[in-house]
Amino acid sequence: MSNDYQKDEEILGKAYDSKLMKRLLSYVKPYRKYIIIAIINLYRLYQ
Protein backbone atom coordinates (compact mmCIF):
# COMPACT_ATOMS: atom_id res chain seq x y z
CA MET A 1 0.00 0.00 0.00
CA SER A 2 2.68 2.53 0.97
CA ASN A 3 4.78 1.46 -2.00
CA ASP A 4 1.95 2.48 -4.36
CA TYR A 5 1.75 5.85 -2.62
CA GLN A 6 5.47 6.46 -3.16
CA LYS A 7 5.17 5.61 -6.85
CA ASP A 8 2.28 8.06 -7.20
CA GLU A 9 4.32 10.78 -5.53
CA GLU A 10 7.27 10.12 -7.86
CA ILE A 11 5.02 10.42 -10.91
CA LEU A 12 3.48 13.67 -9.66
CA GLY A 13 6.86 15.08 -8.73
CA LYS A 14 8.22 14.45 -12.20
CA ALA A 15 5.41 16.48 -13.76
CA TYR A 16 6.86 19.69 -12.29
CA ASP A 17 10.39 19.85 -13.62
CA SER A 18 12.49 22.53 -15.27
CA LYS A 19 12.23 21.00 -18.74
CA LEU A 20 8.46 21.26 -18.61
CA MET A 21 8.61 24.87 -17.43
CA LYS A 22 11.01 25.81 -20.24
CA ARG A 23 8.69 24.19 -22.74
CA LEU A 24 5.65 26.02 -21.38
CA LEU A 25 7.48 29.35 -21.30
CA SER A 26 8.45 28.91 -24.94
CA TYR A 27 4.74 28.94 -25.81
CA VAL A 28 4.15 32.04 -23.67
CA LYS A 29 7.13 33.97 -25.05
CA PRO A 30 5.29 35.60 -28.01
CA TYR A 31 2.71 36.98 -25.57
CA ARG A 32 5.11 38.36 -22.94
CA LYS A 33 4.25 41.97 -23.85
CA TYR A 34 0.59 41.31 -23.04
CA ILE A 35 1.47 39.46 -19.86
CA ILE A 36 3.61 42.35 -18.63
CA ILE A 37 0.83 44.83 -19.40
CA ALA A 38 -1.68 42.63 -17.58
CA ILE A 39 0.57 42.38 -14.49
CA ILE A 40 1.09 46.16 -14.45
CA ASN A 41 -2.67 46.73 -14.75
CA LEU A 42 -3.36 44.28 -11.92
CA TYR A 43 -0.80 46.05 -9.76
CA ARG A 44 -2.45 49.42 -10.48
CA LEU A 45 -5.90 48.02 -9.79
CA TYR A 46 -5.00 46.60 -6.37
CA GLN A 47 -2.56 49.28 -5.26
Instruction: Give the pLDDT of residue 19.
Output: 84
21 touches 15 (CB < 8 A)? no
Range of the domain at 22: 18-47
- Name the amino acid, one letter, at 3: N
Domain annotation covers residue 11: no
Instruction: Give the pLDDT of residue 31.
Output: 95
Total domains present in the chain: 1
Write the CB contacts of 13 (distance below 8 Å, at least 6 apart in sequence). none
Instruction: Give the pLDDT of residue 41.
Output: 97
Instruction: Give the pLDDT of residue 6.
Output: 61
> Consecutive sets of 10 residues in the chain, 47 residues long: mean pLDDT of each?
60 70 91 96 94
**How far is it, in rounded angstroms, from Cα 14 to Cα 8?**
10
